[in-house]
Structure formats: structure tokens, C-alpha cells
């Protein structure tokens, strides 16, 4: 009759069937298979299989004990799950188990068909914060000792070796190594008994060193025995065997000739003595091997990679300013500040040929031409170009390469780029450097610190090559959308060049001079299709909203494809695209008007926000609800910092209520609702303070806010206006929406130098340092004239938004 196992858990105590192991110790997180022959052990397996497949595995102290008691078993064992049980015969069962949890044996019941025990899970104590350095040192020593152990015990499987070498997890190593190394079971039990992870690592290191000493003594003894043989006779016998085998296979001369060929190429390169010596040693190893040996293929790949590097091959720089300016103007419209910066770099290189270490970082929204600028720099200087994308790279080995101990090892991306460029001084583009990601495999941004440091990259050592290579002659250019996500030490090594968003006029010229001719050629429409100026402006204004020109190019291509379809169908031979034709081809305009205050209104103020793809307008609405209890409601996916700005605005309104005709007791009977439209877009940042305060004072006082005015700035509790970031992008958003006046913090006035000249011609920037100045410019007080384009809207507290614009990235006020 089958018997089901009941597991009782009380105060973390578990009641399980027990299997006493002879000469075997099982560790957590390890899969083990063994045979069971004793009746009680077989019965314990059957009971566990009828229960939840859990069983307690514990080693017995003496292997010859047939019916062990509590005193015959060790105090610690492992709770394991039975994965598979196969009955070979009546008295033999093969079992496959997986260790789950280390546990302590509390009580043992020997009566019955099988052993049962009460056990309590006993996980290993972790490492205290002040002991982490000691733990790291132990892990390193343990792995070094393991490498020495490998030299004596090469019979370990590659999976075991890889798992140990590639892991730095102390708990994993403390369980995996004793479970898979050839240690005595008493030593393994000693390690399992240790409750402290630090002590366990120390004992494991001691045991491993002792084992290495024993193995070394055994090897010495074997060598002494073998040395007694006649050395000459033994060598003669072996060499004759090798000669006959090589002749039969026909590869002896091949490998020797191949090694000689590599040796000649290495000597012709005239490398550094240490580098040449290492490569020549690999040639000697290859000469002694058979061509069919797997290791010979690894050596060939290594030598081919090293010889394909451009050790002494470089292009001559073309630093002529006129040629460089011509290339830049031909390939890019506008971007005068960026072009001047590049020409300055070329000028310095012309005056000082030894200048090195200039790492350029192009920062700007998507689609503004960062990658194409890097191509242009290479064309200007007459250098080779190589590009490597860093977006999503999370493995340090992608940068430094893999060690040759691993199967399928290869050099890192930096060395691969140098091989691709076939030049020692190429322009290497590191694209999307702000999107690097680190995980347990390492931090690639830390590996790039050496690559982008001119004091270190002279002797850059790839893990695969294991020989130094000079990267100081290469010109590295990186790109990023958001410089704030680049790690500080990495950002500090780079010379940052900011690429701003394009204005409407710049987009038109780029489309007319570059995008349209390119797509006409790609679609086979040269001489068959023309596009008028109004048509291009219609595409820019009605169908694209972006900082760059990627969507603009896609939309132009879409229009041309539809024209190509008509010409291919024979409907027309030549087509001229007008603004109305664009609407017929593409349908209704996709870009809807941004929801901002279009009329002078009470309780609505136009703010400015920064996003990763450029600036945006971000209005703030405030509604006053009479008959309330002073409750304040804040909506619109606002972050904590922005909510705090709203609290500051409310406090300022209470303090200065009398100045703006607001009854002091009025606030106690009103509910205030503050809302930022586009509720699905997260918003945060302190620079919405002036916008929130203006909208709140307007709603409480009834004074309208000018609709043709936008503002930005952080506020203090006493009404001071503090500086903000992203003024260039925010001013571009105001320009795009036709705003005529922008209020900025006084301390940001110096940043107007970076604002495009076209924007400064259309917008009047007013520096302010107090909230009273903001309200003076923004509110239409009694006796003042409303904005010329629209009359004031009396007592309006909110506007109904029109159709929502396309979803935007998170905004930072």
C-alpha cells in the first residue's frame, strides 16, 4: 500500500523523508545522480515521489554503516527535489536530484519503512558591507588557485571550467566548486557545515591549495619515474612515430611551411620586441602541431587577426581649411557653429601634428545629422571611416574582446573597427554612447574609459590579442541624444559639440538641397517629378513634427512613391507636386495644432519644457471651484518636483493675495485644480514654477494671461526666479508655435548666445529675477491693453483642448 508523505511546516521546520548518502555530499543548486540500494532509502524515494518529490539528503560519517542513526549522520544536509527515479532492479534505483536548500538536521525517526527527519532550512549568511573587499580578494585567490588546480587536473569538463572562471558570485563558487571538484567527501561536508559565506570561502581556498600541493607532489613523483627511462631511446621512438604519422597524413611539411610564412610576415612588420616575441612563439607552437589539430585552427585565427591589424599603415591627413569648408557646406546645410568647431580642430592639427586625444561628442536630438557629420569629418581629413553602434551593448567583452580560453573567442569591437578601416588613424564613430547598458557581465562604459583616454589608449590591450596596440592616432567621434545619461568619467574625456534642432527654414533648405534630390534619384524620378516650395512647406508644417529631418525624408519618399506609381501605370509622364497635391496624396494633415493658450484667457499660462527630442510647449491650467473647503487637486502625470513647485505657487499666492485683489479668506472656501494637458506624458522638473504661479494668480484674480507670451523658470518661496536648463530647445519650441515674447530667468540671459539667430529675430526675450516682474509682463491688469491678435476672455478659467498631438517623450520643465 502506497504511503503519502505529509510535510509539516512549523516555525520553519520541515518533516521530510531522508536518504543517507555514502561518500557523497550534495550542495544546493547542483544536479546529482546516484544509485540507491538500501531498502529504507528506496522506500524514502517512493514516499517522496508520492508526496511533493522533496527529500532530505545527508551524508553519513562512516561509509560502512548499514543502518545509520542520528549520531551516524552529519548535522547539515540539503533539501532536494527528485527529478527522475528509475528502478533498475528490485534492489537498485537510479535517482536524479537537484539540491535546493541547505538545512540542519533536528530530529531523526528511524522507525518505519524509511528514515524521516525534522529539518530547518539554514541558508548561508551573506557578506557584511565592511567585509566585501575581503570577500572579493578571496574570490580572486580562489580562481587563481583553481587555475593552478587545472594544470594538475585537466580532466575537468569544459562546462565546469567555464562556469567557475566566468563567475564572480561568492555563494555560487562556494557551492559549485566543491560539488564538481575531486575532493574527499569529508572535506566537502566541512564546507557544507560552514554557515558563514566568508569562512566557507576561506576553508575552500585552504582545501584547494592543499589539493594542489598533493597533486604537485604526485606529478613530481611521476616525472622522476619517467626520467629513469632512457631519454634518448624514448625521444627517438616518439620522433619516429611522429615522423611516420606526419608522412602518412601529409601535413608535417604543410604546418611547418605555414608557420614559416607567418614568421616572415611578423619579421617584416618590425614590431616591438615583446610583441614580436609573443607572436613568434605562437608560430613555433603551430609548427609543432598537425594541421588537423583543433588548436592549430585557433592559432591560425589568432595570427591572422594580429597580422591584419594596420600596424604601420596610415593615411595622410588633408587639413586644408578651404577643402574642409567646401565638403561640410556641400553635405550639410546650416549648422554654422558645428562647422566652425570642426574647422578649429583641423586648424589646430595643421599647426601641431602631434596633437592627440581629441574625442568629439556630438549631442543632439534624433535626425539632426550627428552620424553624417562624422562621415563628413572623415571626408574632410581624407581618413578611413568605421562605425560601431553601442546602443544596448551590455557586455564588457564587446569592447575588450574575449580571452582565447573561450570557445569562439574574438577581438572586441574597437580592434574589429581598426581591422575594417585598414588604417592606424581612422575616424571611428561610437554611435549612441548614451545608450550603453551594464549588467553582471561588466560595464562597457568603464572599458571605454581606456579607449577614450589618450594617456592609456597608446597601449590598448584587447583580451583576445593580449598584446598592446596603439589607438592614439585614431580620431574618435561619439554621438548621444541625451548627454546627462553618459557616465561622468566618460563624459569628462570628451569634447562636447551640441547640435540644435532645425528651424522651419533650415528644414526647407535641407529638403530642397539634399533630401529631395537624393530621393528623386533613389526612386528613378529625376527629370520626371518636381516639387514646389509650398509643397515642401506643406509637408514640413502639416505632416512632420520633429527636431531633425528623418520623418521629413520619409514623408517626401512616400509622396514620390505615389508619383512613381502613377508614372509606372502610364497615367502621366511628368508630375509637378503642389501643396494641394500633397494633401491629395497623403490625406489629411497629421500634425494637429499643439494645445496651448491661443487667446488671452484667465487661468491658462504657456510654459516651456525640454524633452530628449527637443523643446515643447507645455501649458498649465488652473480652475477655481467655489463652495469648496480649500482642497488642492493636481493632475497631468506630474512628478514630485513639479508638484512641489505647485505648492510653492499656492504659498506665494496666499502671501501676496492682497496685491492682486484676492480676498485672504477667499482661499479657504475655494477648491483649486491645477492641470497640465497631455496627461499621458510624464512631466517633471522645477522650471514650471513661474508658469504654475502665473496661471494660479490669474485664476484667483481674474486677470487674463497673454497668449502670445511663454515663460520658464524655477521659483523660490520668496518669489525669486532661478535659472533653468535647455533654453535653446525651449526657445525653439516657442519659435515653432509663433510665440512673440518669452520670459526667462535673468541668470539665463548669457545662454541666449547659443540660441539660433533666426529665433532671436522673431522672439523678444525678457530676463526677470522676481515673480512680480513675471506677473507684470504676463497678466493683463485693469487699464492695460490686451494682446493685439485677440481680446481678453473675461473670467474664463479653462479651455477645451482640441485634438491631441502625437504622443511625445517625457517632458522636463
CATH number, domain containing residue 741: 3.30.230.10
Domain annotation covers residue 624:
yes
Q: Looking at the structure, do residues 539 and 638 belong to the same domain, yes or no?
A: no
Residue 9's pLDDT is what? 40
- Find the range with the poorest average confidence among 291-295, 411-415, 527-531: 291-295
Structural domain of residue 93, as residue ranges?
14-121
Domain annotation covers residue 232:
no
Domain annotation covers residue 530:
yes
Q: Looking at the structure, do residues 30 and 86 belong to the same domain, yes or no?
A: yes
Q: Looking at the structure, do residues 354 and 461 belong to the same domain, yes or no?
A: yes
pLDDT digits (tens, 9 = 90+) for 137-195: 888 888 888 888 888 776 778 888 888 888 888 888 888 888 888 888 888 888 888 88
Domain annotation covers residue 74:
yes
d(CA 20, CA 108): 11
**CATH code for the domain in which residue 513 is found:** 1.10.8.60
d(CA 36, CA 419): 59
Is the pLDDT confidence value at 743 over 90?
A: yes
DSSP state of 748: G
Q: Which of 423, 445, 612, 687 is catalytic?
A: 687
pLDDT digits (tens, 9 = 90+) for 451-478: 888 778 888 888 898 899 988 888 899 9
Q: Looking at the structure, do residues 650 and 782 belong to the same domain, yes or no?
A: yes
Task: Give the cell for residue 285.
Answer: 607552437
Q: Looking at the structure, do residues 699 and 610 belong to the same domain, yes or no?
A: yes
- Grid cell 561588466 is found at 442
Q: Looking at the structure, do residues 336 and 474 belong to the same domain, yes or no?
A: yes
Q: Looking at the structure, do residues 358 and 491 belong to the same domain, yes or no?
A: yes
Q: How far are the Cα atoms of 347, 391, 420, 500, 529 from residue 375, in angstroms, in the given order?
A: 18, 19, 15, 19, 29
Domain boundary among the residues 277, 308, 339 is at 308
CA geometry: angle at 578 spanning 573 and 584, to 5°? 85
Domain annotation covers residue 379:
yes
Domain annotation covers residue 235:
no
Q: Report the percentage of the chain scoring pLDDT > 90.
A: 14
Residue 807's pLDDT is what? 40
Q: Looking at the structure, do residues 108 and 133 belong to the same domain, yes or no?
A: no
Domain annotation covers residue 62:
yes
Q: Which of 40, 339, 728, 730 is catalytic?
A: 730
DSSP string for residues in 144-208: HHHHHHHHH-TTS-HHHHHHHHT---HHHHHHHHHHHS---HHHHHHHHH--BHHHHHHHHHHHH
Q: Looking at the structure, do residues 290 and 181 belong to the same domain, yes or no?
A: no
Is 200 within 8 Å of 191 (Cβ atoms)? yes
Q: Does residue 687 have an active-site annotation?
A: yes
- Total domains, the chain: 6
Domain boundary among the residues 105, 121, 137 is at 121
Q: Does residue 772 have an active-site annotation?
A: no
Higher pLDDT, 607 or 294: 607
Domain annotation covers residue 5:
no
pTM over 0.85: no
Q: Looking at the structure, do residues 440 and 567 belong to the same domain, yes or no?
A: no
Residue 61's pLDDT band, with cuts at 50, 70 and 90, is confident
d(CA 476, CA 331): 20
Q: Looking at the structure, do residues 30 and 155 belong to the same domain, yes or no?
A: no
529-531/575-577 β-pairing: parallel
Q: Looking at the structure, do residues 638 and 762 belong to the same domain, yes or no?
A: yes
Domain boundary among the residues 453, 480, 498 is at 498
Higher pLDDT, 678 or 357: 678
Amino acid at each position: 500500500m502506497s504511503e503519502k508523505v505529509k510535510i509539516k511546516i512549523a516555525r520553519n521546520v520541515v518533516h521530510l523523508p531522508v536518504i543517507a548518502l555514502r561518500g557523497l555530499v550534495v550542495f544546493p543548486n547542483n544536479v546529482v545522480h546516484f544509485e540507491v540500494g538500501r531498502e529504507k532509502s528506496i522506500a524514502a524515494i517512493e514516499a517522496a515521489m508520492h508526496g511533493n518529490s522533496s527529500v532530505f539528503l545527508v551524508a553519513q560519517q562512516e561509509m560502512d554503516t548499514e543502518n545509520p542513526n542520528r549520531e551516524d549522520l552529519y548535522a547539515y544536509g540539503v533539501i532536494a527535489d527528485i527529478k527522475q527515479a528509475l528502478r533498475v532492479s528490485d534492489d537498485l534505483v537510479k535517482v536524479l536530484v537537484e539540491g535546493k536548500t541547505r538545512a540542519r538536521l533536528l530530529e531523526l525517526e528511524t522507525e518505519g519503512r524509511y528514515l524521516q527527519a525534522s529539518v530547518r532550512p539554514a541558508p548561508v549568511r551573506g557578506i557584511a558591507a565592511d567585509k566585501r573587499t575581503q570577500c572579493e580578494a578571496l574570490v580572486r585567490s580562489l580562481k587563481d588557485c583553481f587555475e593552478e588546480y587545472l594544470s594538475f587536473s585537466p580532466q575537468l569538463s569544459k562546462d565546469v571550467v567555464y562556469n567557475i572562471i566566468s563567475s564572480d558570485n561568492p555563494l555560487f563558487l562556494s557551492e559549485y566548486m566543491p560539488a564538481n571538484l575531486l575532493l574527499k567527501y569529508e572535506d566537502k561536508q566541512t564546507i557544507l557545515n560552514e554557515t558563514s559565506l566568508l569562512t566557507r570561502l576561506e576553508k575552500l581556498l585552504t582545501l584547494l591549495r592543499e589539493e594542489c600541493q598533493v597533486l604537485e607532489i604526485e606529478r613530481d613523483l611521476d616525472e622522476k619515474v619517467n626520467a629513469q627511462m632512457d631519454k634518448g631511446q624514448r625521444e627517438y621512438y616518439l620522433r619516429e612515430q611522429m615522423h611516420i604519422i606526419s608522412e602518412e597524413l601529409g601535413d608535417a611539411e604543410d604546418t611547418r611551411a605555414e608557420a614559416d610564412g607567418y614568421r616572415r610576415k611578423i619579421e617584416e612588420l618590425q614590431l616591438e620586441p615583446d610583441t614580436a616575441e609573443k607572436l613568434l612563439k605562437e608560430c613555433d607552437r603551430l609548427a609543432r602541431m598537425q594541421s588537423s589539430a583543433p588548436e592549430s585552427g585557433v592559432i591560425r585565427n589568432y595570427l591572422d587577426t594580429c597580422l591584419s591589424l594596420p600596424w604601420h599603415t596610415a593615411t595622410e591627413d588633408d587639413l586644408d581649411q578651404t577643402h574642409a569648408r567646401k565638403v561640410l557646406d556641400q553635405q550639410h546645410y546650416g549648422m554654422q557653429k558645428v562647422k566652425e568647431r570642426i574647422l578649429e580642430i583641423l586648424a589646430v592639427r595643421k599647426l601641431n601634428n602631434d596633437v592627440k586625444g581629441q574625442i568629439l561628442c556630438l549631442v543632439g536630438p534624433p535626425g539632426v545629422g550627428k552620424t553624417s557629420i562624422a562621415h563628413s569629418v572623415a571626408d574632410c581629413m581624407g581618413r578611413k571611416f568605421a562605425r560601431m553602434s553601442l546602443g544596448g551593448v551590455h557586455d564588457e567583452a564587446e569592447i575588450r574582446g574575449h580571452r582565447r580560453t573561450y570557445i569562439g573567442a574574438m577581438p572586441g569591437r574597437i580592434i574589429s573597427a581598426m581591422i575594417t578601416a585598414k588604417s592606424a588613424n581612422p575616424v571611428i564613430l561610437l554611435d549612441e554612447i548614451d545608450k550603453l547598458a551594464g549588467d553582471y557581465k561588466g560595464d562597457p562604459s568603464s572599458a571605454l574609459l581606456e579607449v577614450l583616454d589618450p594617456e592609456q589608449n597608446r597601449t590598448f590591450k584587447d583580451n583576445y590579442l593580449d598584446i598592446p596596440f596603439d589607438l592614439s592616432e585614431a580620431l574618435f567621434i561619439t554621438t548621444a541624444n541625451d548627454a546627462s545619461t553618459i557616465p561622468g568619467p566618460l563624459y569628462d574625456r570628451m569634447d562636447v559639440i551640441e547640435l540644435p534642432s532645425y528651424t522651419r527654414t533650415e528644414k526647407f533648405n535641407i529638403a530642397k538641397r539634399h533630401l529631395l534630390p537624393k530621393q528623386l534619384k533613389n526612386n528613378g524620378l529625376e527629370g520626371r517629378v518636381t516639387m514646389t516650395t509650398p509643397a515642401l512647406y506643406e509637408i514640413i508644417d502639416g505632416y512632420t513634427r520633429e527636431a531633425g529631418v528623418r520623418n521629413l525624408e520619409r514623408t517626401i519618399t512616400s509622396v514620390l512613391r505615389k508619383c512613381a506609381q502613377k508614372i509606372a501605370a502610364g497615367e502621366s509622364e511628368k508630375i509637378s507636386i503642389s501643396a494641394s497635391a500633397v494633401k491629395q496624396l497623403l490625406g489629411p494633415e497629421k500634425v494637429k495644432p499643439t494645445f496651448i493658450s491661443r487667446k488671452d484667457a484667465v487661468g491658462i499660462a504657456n510654459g516651456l519644457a525640454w524633452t530628449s527630442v527637443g523643446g515643447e510647449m507645455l501649458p498649465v491650467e488652473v480652475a477655481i471651484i467655489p463652495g469648496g473647503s480649500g482642497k488642492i487637486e493636481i493632475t497631468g502625470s506630474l512628478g514630485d518636483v513639479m508638484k512641489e513647485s505647485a505648492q510653492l505657487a499656492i504659498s506665494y499666492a496666499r502671501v501676496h493675495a492682497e496685491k492682486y485683489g484676492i480676498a485672504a479668506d477667499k482661499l479657504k472656501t475655494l477648491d483649486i485644480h491645477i492641470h497640465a494637458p497631455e496627461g499621458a506624458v510624464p512631466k517633471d522638473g522645477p522650471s514650471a514654477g513661474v508658469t504654475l504661479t502665473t496661471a494660479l494668480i490669474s485664476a484667483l484674480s481674474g486677470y487674463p494671461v497673454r497668449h502670445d507670451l511663454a515663460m520658464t523658470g524655477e521659483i523660490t518661496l520668496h518669489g525669486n526666479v532661478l535659472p533653468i536648463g535647455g533654453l535653446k530647445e525651449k526657445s525653439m519650441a516657442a519659435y515653432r508655435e509663433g510665440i512673440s515674447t518669452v520670459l526667462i530667468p535673468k541668470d539665463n540671459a548669457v545662454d541666449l548666445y547659443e540660441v539660433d539667430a533666426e529665433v532671436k529675430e522673431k522672439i523678444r526675450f525678457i530676463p526677470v529675477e522676481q515673480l512680480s516682474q513675471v506677473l507684470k509682463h504676463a497678466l493683463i491688469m485693469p487699464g492695460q491693453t490686451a494682446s493685439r491678435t485677440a481680446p481678453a476672455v473675461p473670467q474664463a478659467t479653462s479651455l477645451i483642448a482640441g485634438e491631441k498631438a502625437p504622443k511625445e517623450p517625457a517632458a522636463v520643465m
